Amino acid sequence: MWPLIVLPVALAVVVNAIIFARGWQSSNDSQRRPLLPPGWAVGLIWLVVFVFLGLAHYSVARARGLFCVSSIAIALTVGFCLAYPFVTRAFEDERRVRALNVSTLVLAALTAIAVSHQHLRALPALLPLLTWATYVSLTDALTAATAAR
């Protein structure tokens, strides 16, 4: 079952490599979102998030099986988070990007609810994703509110 930990991290490394190879991390995000850390730090944050998602998935799958609701919810969350940079890259409209950030937070919360009902011990491993998604959503809201003035 160790691939449940290693696979999300390995895929996150590949996604980060694509992002850095294409120069996406150095786009004008620092101007549009001044409260976010630089691109390299965001990549590190996501690696940490994926380590913890892998640990949560491993813990749930070991206790409840690979095909329980919690395990599937975590797998879907991993897939969504891996696709996120490619999907947002296609959006020019900042409102859509903000909506996707809020969607990430909602998905993380729903996954946490599913995990809390089936394997409470895995719940702390979802805190990095919940924290990061909350921070990004709040900074986006603050940036939008400041720009509207």
Report the distance separating Cα 45 and Cα 22, nearest Å. Answer: 19
Confidence of residue 21 (pLDDT cuts 50, 70, 90): confident
Q: Which residues of 6-43 are buried (b: 16+ CB within 10 A; e: fewer)?
A: eebbebbeebbeebeeeebbeeeeeeebeebeebeebb
Q: What is the pLDDT of residue 71?
A: 95
Average pLDDT over residues 31-39: 79
Q: CATH topology for 3-148? A: Ferritin (1.20.1260)
Which of 107, 122, 3 lies closest to 71, judged by CA? 122
Q: Does the pLDDT value for residue 32 go beyond 70?
A: no
Report the distance separating Cα 38 and Cα 30, nearest Å. Answer: 7
pTM of the model: 0.89
Two tokens, residue 93:
């409209």
Q: Does the pLDDT value for residue 68 go beyond 60?
A: yes
Quote the Cα angle for 121-123-124, to 5°.
95
Two tokens, residue 38:
């630089």
Q: Does the pLDDT value for residue 52 go beyond 70?
A: yes
- Residue pair 130/109 in contact by the 8 Å Cβ criterion: yes
pLDDT digits (tens, 9 = 90+) for 90-146: 777 788 888 999 999 999 999 999 999 999 999 999 999 999 999 999 998 888 888
> Which ranges of 1-126 does DSSP label H, i.e. alpha helix?
3-21, 29-32, 39-64, 69-89, 94-118
